[in-house]
Structure 1
Amino acid sequence: MAAILKVALLTFAVGLAACSSKDDLDDLELNDTPPEVLYNEGLSLRVQGRLRQANDKFEQLDRLYPYSEFAKKSLVNMAYVNFSRGKYPEAISAANRFLTLYPGNDDAAYALYIIGQSYFRQMPDITRDQEATEKAASAFQELLQRYPDSEYASDAEAKLRVAADQLAGKEMQIGRYYLEKRSYVAAINRFKVVVLRYQTTRHVEEALFRLTESYYALGVVNEAQTAAAVLGHNFPDTDWYKDAYSLLSKGGYEPSENRGSWISKAFKGMTNF
């Protein structure tokens, strides 16, 4: 038995040595492949639609020749390939790494666009947490600020509007919940966010009415009047204004703008989106 055990151990050790030698040879062969060859192979696979294999090739290049010109190009391709495959976290990671290493590169706008698109594709419905929506909006906003004339600016602007509308919708949903619970201060804080940050969305009209409703319920009549007046000035033909006017009329009041109110001042400044 001892002799058999020795033979088995010797065979195992020889096998390990053989595998190790083969791995070392494979690494040496791979290391001998010029970066431009690996890059062109990756591009060829990408064109063929073999995206997983293309990504593997770009990852090999990045690992073997880090910080090279071809590794730089590979990072951009990895972001694109992973986005195309629906591997959004991987796409974001590659694009963020590219921006960290090469912030002033000509492809920085495209990297930001990939990040925004990746988060945009992960935006949930209005009832769920909106972290992905916020990150999509942030990436698109940064793209527009840094590269307003890029070829991606127009689409980024359109998608930013969609993201902003969803974020405003989430604030309205929470605000209405607080309003139903008669937690008027909490409700006002949510509607205030919509008025201050998302004036260009479709939710601002309702937000102004809900502010009228909430302030009136608290007995802060002057702010309720101001919210209704601003609503009437900007959206005079809407049902929201009619409802606000009717609510105040029942108490013997009418819309009247206090120009010192934050509501009045909000509509004289610039919006974030």
Structure 2
Amino acid sequence: MSKDSSASKEEEYAGWDDKMFHEKAKEALDNKNYQKAVTLYEALESRYPFGDYAAQAQLNVAFAYYKNDDPEAALAAADRFIKIHPRNPSVDYAYYLKGLINYNRGIGFIDRFLPTDSSQRDPGPAKDSYDNFQELIRRYPNSQYVADAKQRMIALRNNMAMYEVHVADFYMRRKAYVAAVNRANYIIKEYQRTPAVPFALQIMQDGYRQLGMDELAADAERIYTLNYPAGAPQANYKDEGAIQKVWDAMGLDK
């Protein structure tokens, strides 16, 4: 920020008490002017670090950063609030907010090559979000945010499981059959009762057949038929996944 800009801000804020900063920042937040809200909450905290609105400003600035598409700053602000105010009545919201931030992260380089299927994105932020919500539930089982967190965790787990299907399918298409069936077995073990399971069983059938392990292929087929007598779910696992798209885009086969 330039000296002239800093001076103009000082003039604008002249005579403002902490309540005025709080009201103006809240107004900016309500009007979805998130950058202005960030500026005002930071100004409030720097000028009145021990004032009545300081703690609320530290929490609200995390939300403002989140809405302003600055997830790293939002996570840092939420973590800072948790560290400074571990017994604040709103600390459960800080944990919930961390989950939300990571829930919506992961849009970057790789997504330029992806369809809208969120299960094909990098699962790192999804895992972080799942862990954030899990920590919220463990620490504050009676929090008003628990119900929503649980629903999001179900969606996250399903997406993480389907990501593993895309990875296994990638291995199948590259004829890495051992890696494919190992990944499918991992899905069966770690992601039971998710929509990914029938796809994993299909991959196991195909992979074991390609490896000449007909007995294991028959076992996978038997389990599939027993649990899914109506046949395959809506889609087949064989579609062009994220990993292949990135591989092709980077020219790794050339």
Partner of residue 56, structure 2: 73
Output aligned runs, 1:84-103, within 5 Å.
84-103=67-86
Residues 232/108 of structure 1: CA separation in 2 closer, same or farther (3 Å cut): farther
Aligned with residue 158 of structure 1, among 125, 148, 151 = 151
Other-structure match for 2:37: 54
Specify the SS of the correspondent of 1:201: coil
Shift, 1:186, TM fit: 0.9
CA distance in 2 between counterparts of 1:44 and 1:180 reads: 54
Superposition deviation, residue 167 in structure 1: 1.8
Match of 1:270? none
**Whole-angstrom distance in 1 between the partners of 2:17 and 2:96:** 30
- Please list every run of 5 or more consecutive structure 2 residues that lacks an aligned counterpart in the other structure: 108-117, 237-254
Matched, 1:141 2:134: yes
| Counterpart code for 2:207 | S
The letter for the 2-side match of 1:214 is G
Structure 1: which 5+ runs fail to align?
Answer: 1-18, 244-273
Quote the RMSD (CA, aligned, Å): 3.2
Q: Indicate how the Cα distance of structure 1 residues 44 and 123 shifts in structure 2: closer, same or farther if over 3 A, else same.
A: same
Matched with 1:42 is 25
1:198 is aligned to 2:213: no
Task: Provide the TM-score with structure 2 as the length reference.
Answer: 0.70
Provide the identity percentage: 25
Paired with 1:139 and 1:227, the residues of 2 have a C-alpha distance of 35
Residues of 2 paired with 1:221 and 1:101: CA distance?
60
Deviation at 1:48, TM superposition (A): 4.8
What is the number of residues matched between the two proteins? Answer: 217
Q: Secondary structure at the match of 2:21?
A: helix
- Distance across 1 between alignment mates of 2:192 and 2:51: 46
1:132 corresponds to 2:125 = yes
Distance in 1 of aligned mates of 2:49 and 2:182: 49
Higher relative contact order by CA 8 Å / sep ≥ 6: 1 or 2? Answer: 2
Cα 1:205–1:46 shift into 2, 3 Å: same
Q: Give the partner amino acid of 1:63.
A: S
Give the structure with higher Rg (CA): 1
Partner of 1:109: 92
* CA separation of 1:128 and 1:50: change in aligned 2, threshold 3 A: closer
Q: How does 1:235-254 map to 2 (within 5 A)?
A: 235-239=228-232
Aligned counterpart, 1:4: none
Distance apart, 1:204 and its partner CA: 1.0
Counterpart in 1 of 2:173? 180
Q: Which residues in structure 2 correspond to 1:203-218 (within 5 Å)?
A: 203-218=196-211
1:231 matched to 2:224? The reply is yes
